[in-house]
Amino acid sequence: MHAAPATPVAPVAPEAPAKPANFLRTLIERELAEQVYSQRRWGGSPGDAAHHAGGPVDPAPLRLRFPPEPNGHLHIGHAKSICLNFGLARDFGGVCHLRFDDTNPDREEQEYVDAIIEMVRWLGWDWGFAGSQHLYYASNYFNFMYRAAEHLVERGLAYVDEQSAEAMRAHRGDFGRVGVDSPWRGRSAADNLARLREMRDGHHADGAMVLRAKIDMASPNINLRDPALYRIKHAQHHNTGGRWCIYPLYAYAHPIEDALENISHSICTLEFEDQRPWYDWLLARLAEGGLLQTPLPKQHEFGRLNLSYVVTSKRKLRALVEEGHVQGWDDPRMPTLAGLRRRGYTPAAIRKFADDTGASKSNIWVDYAVLEGALRADLEPQVPRAMAVVDPVKLKLSNWQEVFGDGHLEPCSAPAHPQLPALGQRQFSLGPEVWIERDDFAAQPAKGFFRLFPGNKVRLKYGMVVQCTGSQTDANGRLSAVLAVVVPDTKSGTAGADAVKVKGTITWVGVHDAVAARVRLFDRLFSAEKPDQGEADFRDLLNPGSKLEVSAFVEPGLAALPAESRLQFERLGYFIADRHDHQADAPVFNRITSLRDSWGK
């Protein structure tokens, strides 16, 4: 279960302040130097060209946004995007907006909005700039989006199509086949406008017709073959209630949201690359019509981050929760930010992971060990140490009374952190019986086993040297106690400590002063590296041993520890007092990660 005795680890150098170059930084540096966006005005809030024209020059040299759809909880892939956008804004003195892309009435819920706000804050980011808060909801732009749709219709750039969904799909064509014009494509602007208003006013059923842009059904880019802009949907919306029965499609809404908010760099993942010509087409038409300020936002794509041994699709994460494979969105094994927080990950470790994985023009796979490495690098120099025994068996020191007299307890102490004297000393005591790890004893030791076996001497860390004399088993032949004698005058930190040489040091806690605790030992949620990439259903690749809860004993100083305290249990790994289940008188610790990467070794 755990590795050899802990050896002190050198403190980790603080994070290098210089950020590695990536294509986005290079691009932004160049655009700032060329003052590409320096003449934009800012009307004090998102709005159209007229609104912004009334304001001063935008105080933000650049604006970015993180635009989640509030239809699920954030995961580690989102953290990548959050840290990239908020980080670029911070580094270049601009602002990153948090915008809820809540244009689809079906799936969005307030619960997700609240959770997303909480997690972006937890990661350490905020959306304040120049005295105002830049938290926005795309659904607040429905009026403008509709006005823009009428504008396109009036200019002959959009039409209402009454083909069935199947006909529309068939007529779109594919890579080898150009599309076929809809029979409704030639309708007059006046007729289209009347139809669009009927759609808006609720005269038609869901799916009866859609509003489409009129571009080019023969375009080699299928996204330009008259994309749909609005569809009819008689549905309540979490923000606008029953006010609308038509809703804009994502591809129409998103560029407009960016433009109204004066976004300069609209950063998205690679799968949107083919949408860029459409993004530019739409905004250019609306700017020509005087509806939007220029220069317009530009879309830039970067590679999606995939993490091994997890899945990061909201749909699959939801399946894990709803089908009961995990105990909720914040189950400590989940790659959601809520799960990572409960597991014990720090915001700093997640930010470092995001920085270290850069931004490139291709989708990347990152090994889970990289995330764990970022966490260890953050925790190692700061969290206090303690001893815990997670698979306890009693060690009985048969000569204790003879050596020390009846009832004697030997006070022991240890630094809370080997490199941080300011954290002080831990106090505990050694007595006639201590808890040790079951696997620190072997009746028949394998070659290279230096811990307890009959005749061998080991040091009880921060305590004394003991020599094993035997063991006891229960009726089932299972080890029930290890027997040993204490070697006098060998206490750590005294002159005699080095008199007896031992090859092994083990961790322990005193039976008389240990605190009983529950400890949850987590392992990877999936046993396959890419659980959703192969033939198998990802559910069949769940790691059955991903959670083990055991009874343990911990040092007396850990009684009454506040929830969410992090610490290192020597030899065992990094742990956190669970934010939900931990109580001062009934401690529950989650193992965040082991001390070193031992996966598959």
Give yes or no for residue 40 binding ligand ATP (CB under 6 A): no
CA 246 to chain CA mean position, Å: 34
Which residue number, 172 or 316, has a Cβ lying nearer to ligand ATP?
316
Give yes or no for residue 532 binding ligand ATP (CB under 6 A): no
The size of the interface with ligand ATP (CB under 6 A), counted in residues, is 14
Among 5, 43, 61, 77, binds ligand ATP (CB under 6 A): 77
Which residue number, 116 or 395, has a Cβ lying nearer to ligand ATP?
116
Name the minimum Å distance from CB 101 to ligand ATP: 6
| Angle at which helices 276-288 and 250-260 cross, to 10° | 60
Distance CA 117, CA 26 (A): 30
Distance CA 501, CA 109 (A): 64
Give yes or no for residue 81 binding ligand ATP (CB under 6 A): yes
Which residue number, 80 or 195, has a Cβ lying nearer to ligand ATP?
80
CA 445 to chain CA mean position, Å: 43
The residues near 271 (Cβ < 8 Å, ≥ 6 apart) are 304
Active-site residue among 25, 185, 304, 316? Answer: 304
**How many CB atoms sit inside 10 A of residue 243's CB?**
11
Which residue number, 43 or 531, has a Cβ lying nearer to ligand ATP?
531
Distance CA 251, CA 458 (A): 67
Name the minimum Å distance from CB 297 to ligand ATP: 14
Distance CA 594, CA 601 (A): 13
Residue 245 near residue 232, CB atoms below 8 Å:
yes
Name the minimum Å distance from CB 448 to ligand ATP: 43
Residue 160 near residue 192, CB atoms below 8 Å:
yes
Contact stretch for ligand ATP (CB under 6 A) within 43-51, 62-70, 448-456, 464-472: 62-70
Q: Is 29 a catalytic residue?
A: no
* Alpha helices by DSSP H, 366-481: 368-379, 400-404
Which residue number, 117 or 497, has a Cβ lying nearer to ligand ATP?
117
Among 39, 143, 164, 313, binds ligand ATP (CB under 6 A): 313
Which residue number, 77 or 392, has a Cβ lying nearer to ligand ATP?
77
Distance CA 270, CA 303 (A): 5
Residue 84 near residue 364, CB atoms below 8 Å:
no
**Residue corresponding to tokens 């120049």:** 130
Q: Is 69 a catalytic residue?
A: yes
Which residue number, 345 or 462, has a Cβ lying nearer to ligand ATP?
345
Site for ligand ATP in 374-393 (CB under 6 A): none
Among 83, 213, 305, 452, binds ligand ATP (CB under 6 A): 305
Of 438, 430, 429, 432, the C-alpha closest to 398 is: 432
Among 73, 78, 351, 459, binds ligand ATP (CB under 6 A): 78
Q: φ and ψ at 204, to 5 degrees?
A: -130, 155
**How many CB atoms sit inside 10 A of residue 540's CB?**
9
Q: Is 198 a catalytic residue?
A: no
Name the minimum Å distance from CB 308 to ligand ATP: 13
Give yes or no for residue 67 binding ligand ATP (CB under 6 A): yes
Among 3, 25, 69, 118, binds ligand ATP (CB under 6 A): 69
Q: Which amino acid is at 139?
A: S
Site for ligand ATP in 266-285 (CB under 6 A): 268-269
Straight-line distance from the first to the last Cα atom of the chain, in angstroms, rounded to the nearest whole number:
12
Residue 498 near residue 568, CB atoms below 8 Å:
no
Among 2, 73, 80, 254, binds ligand ATP (CB under 6 A): 80
Contact stretch for ligand ATP (CB under 6 A) within 73-81, 281-289, 340-348, 373-381: 73-81
Active-site amino acid positions: 69, 304, 314
The binding site for ligand ATP (CB under 6 A) comprises 67-69, 77-78, 80-81, 268-269, 304-305, 312-314
